[in-house]
Structure 1
Amino acid sequence: MATPEPTPEDLKRKRTGRIIAIVAVSAAILFLALVVIQTQEHPRTDDASVRANFIEIAPEVSGKLTELPVKDNAFVKKGGLLFAIDPRPYEYALQQALSDQEALEQQIIDAKRKIAAQSSAAQAAKANVHTSTTGIKTASSSIDLAKATVVRAQAAADAAKANLTLQTNNLHRIEPLLKKQYVTVEQIDQANTTVRVAQGTYDESEAALLEAKAQLDEAILRHEAAGAAAAESEAKFGQAIHTIDTVDTLMSERPAKAAKVLSAQLDLERCKVVAPFDAYVTNLNISEGAYAHPGAAMFTLIDTRTWYVIANYREAKLRHIHIGSHVDLYLMGHPERRFSGLVESVGFGVFPEDGKVSDGLPNIDRTLNWVHLSSRFPVRIRVENPDLDLFRIGATAVTVVR
Structure 2
Amino acid sequence: MMAFSKKMMGYAFLVASLALCAILAVIAAYLADRSPRTDDAFIQADIVNMAPEVSGRVIAINVRDNQFVHRGDTLFVIDPEPFRYAVEQAQADLDNLKAELPLQDLQIGSQKSTAEAQESSVEQMRAQLALAKSTEARLAPLARQGFVTAQELDQARSNVKTSSAALEQAIHSQVAALKSVRDDQPIRAQILGMTAKLQAAQRNLRLTDVKAPCDGQITGLNIAAGEYATEGKSLFTIIDTEHWWVVANFRETQVPDFHAGQPAIIHVLARPDVVVHGHVESLGGGVQPDVGSLSNGLPQVARSLNWVRIAQRYPVRISLDHPPAEFMRIGATVVATIQR
My pick for the range that moved more, 287-296 or 26-35, is 26-35
CA displacement, residues 212-256 of structure 1 (integer Å, 9 cap, x when unaligned):
444444444444433333333222222211211122333333442
- Verify: 1:61 aligned to 2:51, yes or no: no
1:247 alignment partner AA: D
| Inter-partner Cα distance in structure 1 for 2:74 and 2:17 | 66
Q: 1:43, 1:320 within 8 Å by CA — same for their partners in 2?
A: no
Question: What aligned pairs does 1:179-190 form with structure 2 within 5 A after superposition?
Answer: none
Match of 1:121 in 2: 114
- The alpha-carbon distance between structure 1 residues 303 and 149, as it changes in their structure 2 partners (threshold 3 A), is same
- CA drift of 1:280 comes to 1.0
1:297 alignment partner AA: S
TM-score (norm 2): 0.85
Match of 2:236 in 1: 299
- CA drift of 1:279 comes to 1.0
**Alignment partner of 2:59: what SS?**
strand
- CA drift of 1:18 comes to 9.7
My pick for the range that moved more, 388-397 or 323-332, is 323-332
Question: What aligned pairs does 1:245-284 form with structure 2 within 5 A after superposition?
Answer: 245-284=182-221
Structure ranking higher in helix proportion: 1
| Inter-partner Cα distance in structure 1 for 2:312 and 2:13 | 42
Question: What aligned pairs does 1:221-232 form with structure 2 within 5 A after superposition?
Answer: 221-232=158-169
Q: 2:277, 2:321 within 8 Å by CA — same for their partners in 1?
A: yes
- The alpha-carbon distance between structure 1 residues 154 and 31, as it changes in their structure 2 partners (threshold 3 A), is closer
**Alignment partner of 1:389: what SS?**
helix
Q: Tell me which of 294, 301, 313 is aligned to 1:357.
A: 294
Match of 1:159 in 2: none
1:125 alignment partner AA: Q
Q: 2:68, 2:218 within 8 Å by CA — same for their partners in 1?
A: yes
Q: 2:292, 2:302 within 8 Å by CA — same for their partners in 1?
A: no
Identity over aligned pairs, percent:
32
My pick for the range that moved more, 94-103 or 305-314, is 94-103
Name the larger-Rg structure: 1
My pick for the range that moved more, 367-376 or 28-37, is 28-37
Match of 2:324 in 1: 387
- The alpha-carbon distance between structure 1 residues 148 and 376, as it changes in their structure 2 partners (threshold 3 A), is closer
- CA drift of 1:311 comes to 1.4
- Verify: 1:105 aligned to 2:98, yes or no: yes
Match of 2:170 in 1: 233
RMSD (Å), alpha carbons: 3.3
My pick for the range that moved more, 40-49 or 306-315, is 40-49
CA displacement, residues 343-371 of structure 1 (integer Å, 9 cap, x when unaligned):
22232312122232255343333422112
Q: Tell me which of 244, 256, 277 is aligned to 1:340.
A: 277
Match of 2:265 in 1: 328
Match of 2:309 in 1: 372
Match of 1:289 in 2: 226
- The alpha-carbon distance between structure 1 residues 11 and 235, as it changes in their structure 2 partners (threshold 3 A), is closer
Q: 1:90, 1:267 within 8 Å by CA — same for their partners in 2?
A: yes
1:237 alignment partner AA: Q
Q: In structure 2, list runs of 5 or more residues that go unmatched.
A: none
**Alignment partner of 2:225: what SS?**
coil
| Inter-partner Cα distance in structure 1 for 2:163 and 2:222 | 90
Q: 1:72, 1:284 within 8 Å by CA — same for their partners in 2?
A: yes
**Alignment partner of 2:197: what SS?**
helix
TM-score (norm 1): 0.73
**Alignment partner of 2:245: what SS?**
strand
- Verify: 1:80 aligned to 2:73, yes or no: yes
Match of 1:186 in 2: none
| Inter-partner Cα distance in structure 2 for 1:15 and 1:389 | 59
Q: In structure 1, list runs of 5 or more residues that go unmatched.
A: 1-9, 156-211
- CA drift of 1:71 comes to 1.4
CA displacement, residues 299-329 of structure 1 (integer Å, 9 cap, x when unaligned):
1111111111111122344466443333222
Q: 1:146, 1:213 within 8 Å by CA — same for their partners in 2?
A: no
- The alpha-carbon distance between structure 1 residues 152 and 82, as it changes in their structure 2 partners (threshold 3 A), is same
CA displacement, residues 69-91 of structure 1 (integer Å, 9 cap, x when unaligned):
12111111111112222222222
Aligned pairs, how many?
Answer: 338
| Inter-partner Cα distance in structure 1 for 2:238 and 2:159 | 93
My pick for the range that moved more, 302-311 or 26-35, is 26-35
- The alpha-carbon distance between structure 1 residues 367 and 219, as it changes in their structure 2 partners (threshold 3 A), is same
Structure ranking higher in strand proportion: 2
Q: 1:42, 1:320 within 8 Å by CA — same for their partners in 2?
A: no
1:387 alignment partner AA: P
| Inter-partner Cα distance in structure 1 for 2:298 and 2:329 | 43
Match of 1:172 in 2: none
